[in-house]
Chains A and B, each alone.
Chain A
Amino acid sequence: KQEVTQIPAALSVPEGENLVLNCSFTDSAIYNLQWFRQDPGKGLTSLLLIQSSQREQTSGRLNASLDKSSGRSTLYIAASQPGDSATYLCAVVGQGAQKLVFGQGTRLTINP
């Protein structure tokens, strides 16, 4: 059974810092990995999707990497801003599966 773990559970940093969020998964046979953002009282918004054949994806100040063999992904946020404060979730779709398996999320706070 696939399990996804995110560390740390919560992170607080001052504005302007670069930061890294971590995600690990137990079964490396994945189809893709996705990073989501969740704001309080709102649904999930997809940030980046990495196919299993890819090593990284970039969107603006966000960069996600994937090391499938070691079962790890990182989300790098450059020059953090208070508006980046949210919960960040990673999720994987296993080979042959048709559902997302989520980690528990990292609650990020950017202090002005």
Chain B
Amino acid sequence: EAGVVQSPRYKIIEKKQPVAFWCNPISGHNTLYWYLQNLGQGPELLIRYENEEAVDDSQLPKDRFSAERLKGVDSTLKIQPAELGDSAVYLCASSLSPLPDNEQFFGPGTRLTVL
């Protein structure tokens, strides 16, 4: 069974440029999560989707970040414009249904460097 797929794996951009990350969850998983992981820190939840609906986006900086999950499968996380402080790893995870009764599976992440 294929795991959570993320692309690109690495991205280097200059500040003020836009950037987008893509995630393909495990087939059949209705719940999708985007996390931000700063260097030396644990992941922090940015947004959680149940099918197409964003049910928890309280930690998403909405002035520059946006996300979508069309058709309840793949998801895209966008930053526009990127700032130096956005340099981090962006992780995507999925689960059959919401926590706490279902295990989350994590993708390898996208490492973003903003110059």
Q: How many A-B residue pairs have CB under 8 A?
A: 58
* Contact digits for B27-68, partner A, Cβ 8 Å, 1 yes 0 no: 000000100000011111100100000001000000000000
- Is A104 touching B40 in the complex (CB atoms < 8 A)? yes
Chain B residue at minimal CB-CB distance from A43: B106
- Is A43 touching B107 in the complex (CB atoms < 8 A)? yes
Residues of chain A with a CB closer than 8 A to B109's CB? 41-43
* Contact digits for A35-66, partner B, Cβ 8 Å, 1 yes 0 no: 00000011111100100000000000000000
- Is B100 touching A46 in the complex (CB atoms < 8 A)? no
Determine whether B104 belongs to the interface, using a CB cutoff of 8 Å to chain A: yes
Q: Among A98, A104, A105, which residue has its beta carbon within 8 angstroms of that of B48?
A: A98
Determine whether B98 belongs to the interface, using a CB cutoff of 8 Å to chain A: yes
- Is B41 touching A105 in the complex (CB atoms < 8 A)? yes
Is the contact region of chain B dominated by helix, strand, or loop, or is it mixed? loop
- Is A99 touching B40 in the complex (CB atoms < 8 A)? no
Is the contact region of chain A dominated by helix, strand, or loop, or is it mixed? strand
Determine whether B108 belongs to the interface, using a CB cutoff of 8 Å to chain A: yes
Interface size of A in residues (CB-CB distance below 8 Å): 22
Determine whether B112 belongs to the interface, using a CB cutoff of 8 Å to chain A: no
CB distance from A23 to the nearest CB of B (A): 11
Count chain B CB atoms within 10 A of each CB in A32, A49, A91, A98 and give the residue with the most: A98
Residues of chain A with a CB closer than 8 A to B108's CB? 41-43
- Is A89 touching B56 in the complex (CB atoms < 8 A)? no
- Is A4 touching B42 in the complex (CB atoms < 8 A)? yes
Known pairs A43-B108, A43-B109; A89 contacts B42 (CB<8 A) = yes
Determine whether B4 belongs to the interface, using a CB cutoff of 8 Å to chain A: yes
Give me 19 other A-B pairs in contact (C-beta within 8 A), A32-B100, A99-B33, A100-B45 excluded: A4-B42, A9-B40, A41-B108, A43-B4, A43-B91, A43-B93, A43-B108, A43-B109, A44-B91, A44-B93, A46-B103, A91-B42, A97-B99, A97-B100, A98-B56, A99-B48, A99-B56, A100-B99, A105-B42
A interface residues, Cβ below 8 angstroms from B: 4, 9, 31-32, 41-46, 49, 89, 91, 93, 97-100, 102-105
